[in-house]
Amino acid sequence: MRKEIAKIYIGVKKALKIPFKIPVKNVNGKILAQTEQETRHVLIMEGDYLKKFVREVDNKIVYDIGANIGLFTICALKNKKPAKKVYAFEPSPLNFKSLSRQIEINNLKNSAVILKIALGAKKETRNLRGLPVAGWGGFSFLRKQEKGEQEFAVDIFTVDALLAKKKIDPPRVVKIDVEGFEREVLQGMKECIKKFQPTIFIELHPNYLKKQGLSNKDIIDALESFGYYLEYYVKWEKGNQYHCIFK
């Protein structure tokens, strides 16, 4: 197992060839630069999926929807063949603050546009819930608020509306990690998908989808109806999430 993990890590490092830091907050609210060991842990979890993403972004406009504290954004912009520009969408105030800091310490202000909003099927305001910890990836509109968690109102917009108003440029690559809100995000970018056919990297969350009467197949069928084919489909973390790539 250790050899397999080491192999994944070495492979990712070779693909990225970048020394980068990911700032997070500790329990006292102080921003810290993540250590090499912690960075390695994140890279191992994403593994092959992240490597494929990095290889896809060469000189392209990229959307990082559910950017968290910026792992995919920074990997897209700090490699041998970087993206042209990344639009990073992150509604969590804690994650957004760390995302902003990451862009600063990695000198990416000219190539990364960060937006403190969520994306969905229509313009509205909804409550996002999760632990008050920067870097935690479980913030969701669909989870019930539990002890110790925060709930806060978030503005939601659609990709199609932002494109129509020329607030953002059309994407060639889209990464989506939105904790069960996948259907809504895709519904809000139908025109974008039809017109620009970006490569889509999407993490599916079957537990959250089930709460909505949906399954992974519904999301896959929806994208295939737009002419996409499923190139990559890998289960990870005890079957609770699936990494998918559509082209």
Angle (CA) 220-192-178 rounded to 5° is: 55
pLDDT of 237: 60
What average pLDDT score do residues 47-63 get?
A: 91
Residue listed under structure tokens 């907050």 = 25
pLDDT of 79: 81
pLDDT of 116: 95
Beta strand pairing call for 173-176 and 199-204: parallel
User: Are 118 and 89 within 8 A, CB to CB?
Assistant: yes
Residue 63 β-bridge partners: 87, 174
Q: Which sequence spans correspond to the domains of the chain?
A: 2-246
Residue listed under structure tokens 């990559």 = 232
pLDDT of 42: 56
- Calculate the average pLDDT of the chain: 80
Residue listed under structure tokens 């600063």 = 104
Beta strand pairing call for 118-119 and 150-157: parallel
CATH C-level class of 2-246: alpha beta
Residue 236 β-bridge partners: 241
Residue 108 has pLDDT above 60, yes or no: yes
Among 2-6, 17-21, 93-97, the minimum mean pLDDT is found in 2-6
Task: Order across the sheet with 61-65: list the strands.
Answer: 112-115, 85-89, 61-65, 173-176, 199-204, 241-246, 230-236
User: Are 209 and 180 within 8 A, CB to CB?
Assistant: yes
What average pLDDT score do residues 157-165 get?
A: 98
Which of the two residues, 29 and 140, has the higher pLDDT score?
Answer: 140
